[in-house]
């Protein structure tokens, strides 16, 4: 019996009569009981940190739409990777800023073993062997038009792009990447990358598929970060998934698993919690979300205005991604979160 309320609200039944004495607030009563029944936890083990790398030395270029995120020259990137490893962050994902002079219609610079991504892998692997390195196979940072594939006659050509992405994956693996994470959404890329890695002796290099990557407005700040914002004409709707669709996302996930993906990713994160849950329930495979640049920017902007508590919103959004079914999350907040979690 609740000692404070034997009354009957609105003259009807008492609360005990309504709930049958079931009171879900009992376990919420104290911090210790809340801790005891907490179902999900966020730890440093859940974090993958995406970083942007750029040529030069001692460079830390701010990205306007992503306060607190920088394009890093390799010396700086190595330092940050060391810091991330010391915080217990398992892996980083690298994205390049490529000068316009090195970009072309086919993104051919992705095949250069000495491009900034491959040099970053070698430098980080040598200095911080304990951190996992994830590289993207998509062409967008390397193309003059900012699309993820080879553009011919206004069409992103699938099979030719797949060939190039698979070749790039082999070079990335040879440079030290532990996980290849292709974000281009071409059909057949996972199988082609798996074949190419295996034929070249990289059976142990894993594939994290950006399996369900949606055509989304939330990628805006990233495009500033990698320098494609002003280049991109049109949209990516002929290769990314329509954000109205969920069954289609499941078919993409299934297909990538059949082709050999070791892990799946949902991107963006927070607006797609239903997709994460469906994938986890359906396939029971390691499932990740990418809390993308626009999600980061929203939390930062509202926080900076004092409209939300930035730190709490950050932690809540990440824990909710775990609750939805994520095994891990790519997030620009990774080092800050790891620092907070360390206490």
Active centre residues (catalytic)? 213, 267
Closest contact distance (angstroms) between CB of 299 and ligand PBG is: 13
Q: Residue 217 has which token pair?
A: 């407005």
Residue 140 contacts ligand PBG per CB under 6 A = yes
Residue 110 contacts ligand PBG per CB under 6 A = no
Contact residue for ligand PBG among 120, 292, 314, 318 (CB under 6 A): 292
Task: Select the span of 14-22, 134-142, 192-200, 320-328 touching ligand PBG (CB under 6 A).
Answer: 134-142
Report the distance separating Cα 179 and Cα 167, nearest Å. Answer: 15
Residue 148 contacts ligand PBG per CB under 6 A = yes
Which burial class, exposed, middle or buried, applies to 217 when counting CB atoms under 10 A from its CB (0-12, 13-18, 19+)? exposed
Task: Select the span of 22-30, 97-105, 188-196, 215-223 touching ligand PBG (CB under 6 A).
Answer: 215-223
C-beta closer to ligand PBG: residue 164 or 183: 183
Closest contact distance (angstroms) between CB of 156 and ligand PBG is: 12
Q: Residue 327 has which token pair?
A: 């095994």
Size of the site for ligand PBG (CB under 6 A): 12
How far is the CA of 282 from the CAs of 54, 84, 260, 285, 322, in angstroms? Answer: 39, 33, 17, 9, 16
Work out the number of other CB atoms within 10 angstroms of the CB of residue 301: 14
Residue 222 contacts ligand PBG per CB under 6 A = yes
Residue 211 contacts ligand PBG per CB under 6 A = no
Closest contact distance (angstroms) between CB of 236 and ligand PBG is: 5
How far is the CA of 22 from the CAs of 1, 4, 26, 28, in angstroms? Answer: 10, 16, 9, 13
Report the distance separating Cα 321 and Cα 272, nearest Å. Answer: 9
Contact residue for ligand PBG among 134, 138, 193, 211 (CB under 6 A): 138
Residue 266 contacts ligand PBG per CB under 6 A = no
- Which residue carries 């219609």 as its tokens? 105
Report the distance separating Cα 216 and Cα 243, nearest Å. Answer: 7
Residue 263 contacts ligand PBG per CB under 6 A = no
Residue 189 contacts ligand PBG per CB under 6 A = no
Is residue 321 within 8 A of residue 291, CB to CB? The reply is yes
Phi-psi domain of 93 (left: phi exceeds 0; alpha: psi -120 through 50; beta: other): beta
The single-letter DSSP state of residue 235 is -
Closest contact distance (angstroms) between CB of 331 and ligand PBG is: 9
Residues 17-76 binding ligand PBG (CB under 6 A) are: none
Q: Which residues make up the interface to ligand PBG (CB under 6 A)?
A: 136, 138, 140, 148, 183-184, 219, 222-223, 236, 292-293
């Amino acid at each position: 019996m609740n000692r404070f309320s034997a009354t009957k609200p609105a003259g009807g039944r008492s609360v005990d009569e309504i709930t049958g004495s079931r009171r879900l607030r009992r376990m919420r009563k104290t911090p210790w009981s809340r801790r005891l029944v907490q179902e999900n936890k966020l730890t440093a083990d859940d974090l993958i940190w995406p970083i942007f790398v750029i040529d030069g030395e001692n460079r830390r270029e701010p990205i306007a739409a992503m306060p607190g995120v920088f394009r890093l020259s390799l010396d700086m990137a190595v330092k940050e990777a060391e810091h991330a490893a010391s915080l217990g962050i398992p892996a980083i994902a690298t994205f390049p800023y490529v000068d316009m002079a090195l970009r072309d219609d086919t993104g051919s610079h992705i095949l250069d073993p000495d491009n900034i991504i491959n040099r970053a892998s070698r430098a980080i692997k040598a200095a911080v062997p304990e951190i996992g390195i994830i590289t993207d196979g998509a062409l967008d940072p390397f193309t003059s038009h900012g699309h993820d594939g080879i553009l011919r006659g206004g069409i992103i050509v699938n099979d030719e792009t797949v060939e190039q992405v698979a070749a790039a994956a082999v070079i990335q693996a040879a440079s030290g990447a532990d996980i290849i994470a292709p974000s281009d959404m071409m059909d057949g890329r996972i199988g082609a990358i798996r074949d190419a890695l295996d034929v070249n002796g990289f059976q142990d290099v894993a594939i994290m598929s950006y399996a369900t990557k949606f055509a989304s407005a939330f990628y805006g700040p990233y495009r500033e970060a990698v320098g494609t914002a002003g280049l991109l004409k049109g949209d990516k709707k002929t290769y990314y998934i329509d954000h109205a669709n969920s069954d289609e996302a499941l078919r993409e996930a299934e297909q990538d698993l059949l082709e050999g993906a070791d892990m799946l990713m949902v991107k963006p994160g927070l607006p797609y919690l239903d997709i994460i849950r469906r994938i986890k329930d359906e396939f029971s495979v390691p499932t990740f979300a990418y809390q993308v640049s626009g999600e980061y920017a929203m939390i930062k902007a509202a926080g900076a205005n004092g409209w939300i508590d930035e730190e709490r919103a950050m932690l809540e959004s990440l824990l909710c991604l775990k609750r939805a079914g994520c095994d891990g999350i790519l997030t620009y907040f990774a080092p800050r979160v790891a620092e907070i979690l360390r206490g």
